[in-house]
Structure 1
């Protein structure tokens, strides 16, 4: 008798931007995108957003409000931007341990170099891992952050369940992600920018048009703000809420493990 479960798994599909791919292939293709753009990732963030991503990240850290001695997990945080912001907010001599977990080794190598360049040699650790099966114990983290990474996960529900699993009771989940524009006046401008300007910018700066074409498409495939709240609640997170930024171009979601 054929193994029905394995057969279904091998034929299951998901989206990679607007392209339909096998579930097993998406992780490798996402890794390939970030291997390609790793060295230019932070520069492109500044160029793509006109530096506004820095304000969004500052708002994220304000909401996290990290405290001395806490353990923080930053998933899909390869270049270390969020982790280093947490450390600097608390104070380098007071910070607990911030762990960066990323699927792509090349991104973490960039992050380690950045940390060394900024003199951050303690209080930060690096782990290669998948958001859907985190290599950390239950109830081990005070906070979980993921910035511009959740839309690249194959099974968002699994990633959210893993986030809840690793959080301590009273710990909080935070997601900063591109989201659904809520101001009609921005909608057409945003579409034109996403599908015409971004790929051209990716080609010019990172010599990689396709990765930034995928970026624009993956944003449109990501659940709208209220739908993500529903997914968070289904995963067992409570007191879920979100804040829109720049008219919904980005949103920060928060949920508690009670």
Structure 2
């Protein structure tokens, strides 16, 4: 039986080809629209130009939205302050502007618009690719837990597994379950849960296992009336909560928060 030759595109090679032929030029063109579109309009017969605030707004909004989406994509595995993504988007736009300025100096006098547009699109696309790779490597080099894609942001009343800072040395953390008391940009306030016997102490109360610990069978205590510990969102070790804090305990914890 004749052996059929495999003409299908290999996975990594095909992905790389698609990236070069379609993704980079498309993303690059969207980032270069404020330069490429007026250039295209000027090539028409008769020459045309952008008119009115609305047209300029659309032309400059396109690369802004694309830069924000790329910044979100590059930062999606790292939690951080709310300003992180906009700041990275602004940095990307500045890098693209510099690349387009340099490219314009190289091919700006070429008579064919499509050559100029292709060069500008590829330059902007390569900058975007380098930006995404650099941001992801930078985030990875910082170490620490990553936030999983599709993660559920901690909410008050939930029990999570996290790296909780020590009271005597906040720079050190230990793996503990904790009750989320309040949430803020970049971090949450928590009360640590422990299996150490805290009966008879005013700063801890018993927390039943109902709804969050169905396997261990061990008794637990949670901090009560103490200053909450601060845990960055990147220090939560799972993408979902362990469960809800039992209602009677949560009522007591809520009262102490005022």
Q: TM-score range by the shorter chain?
A: under 0.3
| TM-score, scaled relative to structure 1 | 0.20
| TM-score, scaled relative to structure 2 | 0.20
Which structure shows the higher strand fraction? 1
